[in-house]
Structure 1
Amino acid sequence: MIRTRSLDSDGSRLRRLAPLALPAAWGAVAVAWKFACPPAREPGLPIRIATSVVFLSVGIGLVLGVRRGLARELARARTVAEATQRVLLRPPPGRLEGLTLAAGQLSASRGASVGGDLYGAVATPHGVRIVVGDVRGHGLAALGAVVAVLGSFREAAHDEPELAGVLRRLERALERHLRERARDEHPSRAGTDPEHPAAEEFVTLLLLEIGPDGRLAVFDCGHPAPYRLGRTARRLLVGDPLPPLGVLPLPAVLRPYTAARLLPGETLVLHTDGAEEARDHRGRFFALDTALAGPPGEAPEALVRRVRTELLHHTGGRLADDVALLVVRNDRARVPAQPAEPGLRRPRTAPSPHC
C-alpha cells in the first residue's frame, strides 16, 4: 500500500510538471544557443532581436504552463467542493409524503460552494421533519458545526418519537463538536491563539414537524420565523423563541408550538437571516417578503430560482452572509366530506323542549 501511494504521488507530481516540460526544454535550447553558438555572440541588431524573441517565447511558455497547472488545480478543488456540498447539503427529495420541496444555498465566501447554513428534510413515521439553521460566521470555518448538526438530525429524526428529543440530540452533538474544537484550538496544543474561538460559536435553527393533517410542531432556537404563502406572504407564528444552540442550555421542559397548520395548497418558506440582511450598494435591505409574493401557484423550485436571481441582482453578487432557502408546499389532496351511504337514514334528533 505504501508503494502504491508513493507511485500515485510520483504520478501526480509528474502530471503537475508536464505543462512546464516544453517551455523548459525551449529555454535550455535558448541558453545553449546563446552561450555555445558563435553567431549568437556577434554584435548586431538582428542577433539581439532574435535573442529577445527566443527568451520572450520561453517566458510566455512558462507563464502559460503555470497558468494551465493552476487552472487544473482550481477545477479539481471545485469538483471536491461540489462533491462536499452534495454530501453535506444534498438537495431534499422533490416529494415527501405529499409535500413538494425545493432548496437553494449561496455562500458568502468567494470561491466556496458551501458555507455556514444548513437544511435537511426527512420523512419519518412521526411525520415529515425539517431543519434549517445558521452557524455563526460563514464559509469553510463553519463546516464543522454544519456536519455535527446535520449528521445528528439525520439520525435523530428517525429515532426520536418526540420532536423535543430531536432537538436535545442536536444540542448534544453541537456541544461535543465545540468541546473537541476547543481542545484542538487550545494554545497549549496549537501554540497560537485560535483564529475562530469555539466558545463564540453557536447555531440558530428552526426545527419543525409536519403531520399528516398539515399540523405543525415547531421549535425556534433564535432563528427567523418562516413565511407562509397563501394569497399573501406573511410570517408564521412559531411561539416564544428558545436560545440558540451553544449559547445557553435548553430548558428542562420542551414543548413545541403546535397552533399552526399548513393547509393544502399553502407554501412554507424557511430561510436564514442572510436573505433579509442582504444589502445593495446604497445600504438598502433585500425585501424578501416582496420577492416571495410571486405568481400564484408557483412551483417551489421556480420560487427558489427566482428569489436567488433577485437576491444576486440586489446585492450585485456580493453577499455579506450565507443564504439558504427551503420551500415546502402542501400538495396533499383535501378530502371532501363523504355523503351518507344509500339506504341509511340520518338519526332523528329529539325535538327541542322549547319548540
Structure 2
Amino acid sequence: MIRTKTWRGACAGVLSVRRVLVFGLPAVWLVAATAWELACPFGSHGGMAPRFVTCAAFLALVAYLLTGMRLGPVRELRRVREVARAAQQVLLRPLPPRLDGLAVAAGQLSASRGATVGGDLYEAVATPRGVRVVIGDVRGHGLAAIGAVAALLGSFREAAHDEADLAGVMRKLERALQRHLRERSRSEHPSVSSTDPDSPLAEEFVTVLLLEIHEDGEVLALNCGHPWPYRLRESAEPLAGGDPLPPLGPFPLPDGLSAHRCTRLLPGDALVLHTDGAEDARDGDGRFFCLRTALTEAAAAGPPVPPAALVRRVHTALLRHTGGRLTDDVALLVLRNDRRQSPAPPGDQEPRRSHARSAHR
C-alpha cells in the first residue's frame, strides 16, 4: 500500500511538473513582457529589441492558448481509445497459440473505422470432450452488433464446458440470443423511444458454426447458416458438410438436433474457419475475393505456414484486393493439428496413407 501511494505521488509530481512547463512558462514570459512594456513604453526605445520582445510575448500567448485547447481533448481521446481497446480485447479475447495439441490463430478486420470488434465472433476452448470451437456472424456489422456478440460468446464459454454434446451448446446459444433480443426490444419500445422501432426479434439473426475436434482428429460439426470451413493440406478444400440449418433467430432449432461427423483432421492438416465477409469482399470492378485461392497460395509459399502467419497473409491479400475498403467484417480462425500420428479407423486408412506419401514427397 505504501509503495502504491509513493508511486501515485511520484506520478502526480511528474504531471505537475509537466503542467508547469507547458502552461506556466508561457504565462510567466507573457507577464514579464507585458510588465516590461508597461514600465518602458514602446515609443521611448528604438531598435529591434522592443519589437522582438513584443512579438515573442504574443507568440507565447498564442502557443499557450492553442496548447491549452488542444492537449485536453487529445488526452481524453487517448484515454477513451485505451478503454475501448481493453474492452474489445476482453470481449473478443486473443486465443492461446496452442490448445490440446492444436496450433491456433485468429484475427478480425472490422468494417467500422477504429473498431477491432464488429459483428463477427469466434472462440476456442479445450474441454474434456475435445477442443470446441465457435465462429459466427451477427446480422450487420460494427458497434450495433456488439451486444449480440457479447451475449453469444458469454454463453458459449460456459456451455462449452457444461454441455455433453454440441446440440446442448447450440441450444444455450439460441436462448442467449433470444434473451438479448428481448432486452433490446424492451429498450427500443415506444415508451422509451419517441419513434416506433423495427422489431429486432423479427429481423435479427446470427449464423453459427460449432466444431468439436477429438484427440484422434475426428471433427464433429453443427452448422446454423454459416459458411463451411476449408481444410488445408497441399491446397484448400472446402468441406462438404451438407445443408446447414437456418441461422439462429428467425426460426427455433429442430427437436432432433445432433452433430455429425464433418471430417478427420490428420497431423499437419489445418482447418480455416471464416465469416462470409471474406468471400463477399469485392474490388473496384466488382470481382469477389477468392478465399480458396488465397489460402492455397499462402500454403504453397514455403514450408508449413504457422496459423498466425496464414491469417496475416490472407488479411493482406484481402486488403490488397479491396483497396482497404471493407463493407463487412471479416474473421478468420485457423486450427492446425500438431499432434502425433494416431491410429485411424479402417475407413480412414487410405486417406492417411495418401497424405503420408504426399508429405514424404
TM-score calculated relative to the size of structure 2: 0.78
**Number of the residue aligned with 1:328:** 335
**Could you say what secondary structure the match of 1:188 adopts?**
coil
Q: Are the structure 2 counterparts of residues 22 and 114 from structure 1 closer, same or farther at C-alpha, using a change threshold of 3 Å?
A: farther
**Number of the residue aligned with 2:8:** none
**Could you say what secondary structure the match of 1:134 adopts?**
strand
Structure 2, unaligned stretches of length 5 or more?
A: 1-11, 345-361
Alpha-carbon distance in structure 2 between the residues aligned to 1:27 and 1:137: 56
**Number of the residue aligned with 1:341:** none
Deviates further, 296-305 or 146-155 = 296-305
**Number of the residue aligned with 2:215:** 212
Equivalent residues of 1:24, 1:62 under 8 A apart: no
**Number of the residue aligned with 2:324:** 317
- Cα offsets for 1:53-78 (capped at 9, x unmatched): 65554334333333332332232222
**Number of the residue aligned with 1:246:** 249
Alpha-carbon distance in structure 2 between the residues aligned to 1:135 and 1:275: 15
Equivalent residues of 1:182, 1:199 under 8 A apart: no
Alpha-carbon distance in structure 2 between the residues aligned to 1:103 and 1:306: 12
- TM-superposed CA distance for 1:317, in Å, is 2.4
**Could you say what secondary structure the match of 2:336 adopts?**
strand
Identity of aligned residues (%): 62
More helix by share: 2
**Number of the residue aligned with 1:301:** 308
Superposition RMSD in Å: 3.2
Deviates further, 210-219 or 114-123 = 210-219
- Cα offsets for 1:68-94 (capped at 9, x unmatched): 323322322222122122211112222
Question: Given the alignment of the two structures, is residue 120 of structure 1 paired with residue 127 of structure 2, yes or no?
Answer: no
**Could you say what secondary structure the match of 2:234 adopts?**
coil
- TM-superposed CA distance for 1:156, in Å, is 0.5
Aligned match of 1:169 in 150, 169, 172?
172
- Cα offsets for 1:278-334 (capped at 9, x unmatched): 222333222211111123521111111211222222223222111111001112211
Deviates further, 151-160 or 78-87 = 78-87
Aligned-partner residue type, residue 124 of structure 2: A
- Cα offsets for 1:163-185 (capped at 9, x unmatched): 10100000000100010011011
- Cα offsets for 1:109-160 (capped at 9, x unmatched): 1111221111000111221110001111111221110110000000001111
**Number of the residue aligned with 1:97:** 100
Deviates further, 132-141 or 176-185 = 132-141
- TM-superposed CA distance for 1:37, in Å, is 7.9
**Number of the residue aligned with 1:80:** 83
Aligned match of 2:137 in 134, 138, 148?
134
Equivalent residues of 2:201, 2:249 under 8 A apart: no
Q: Are the structure 2 counterparts of residues 181 and 26 from structure 1 closer, same or farther at C-alpha, using a change threshold of 3 Å?
A: farther
Equivalent residues of 1:81, 1:114 under 8 A apart: no
**Number of the residue aligned with 2:161:** 158
Aligned-partner residue type, residue 134 of structure 1: D
Q: Are the structure 2 counterparts of residues 67 and 23 from structure 1 closer, same or farther at C-alpha, using a change threshold of 3 Å?
A: farther
Q: Are the structure 2 counterparts of residues 68 and 297 from structure 1 closer, same or farther at C-alpha, using a change threshold of 3 Å?
A: same
**Number of the residue aligned with 1:146:** 149
**Could you say what secondary structure the match of 1:113 adopts?**
coil
Structure 1, unaligned stretches of length 5 or more?
A: 1-10, 338-355
Alpha-carbon distance in structure 1 between the residues aligned to 2:245 and 2:61: 65
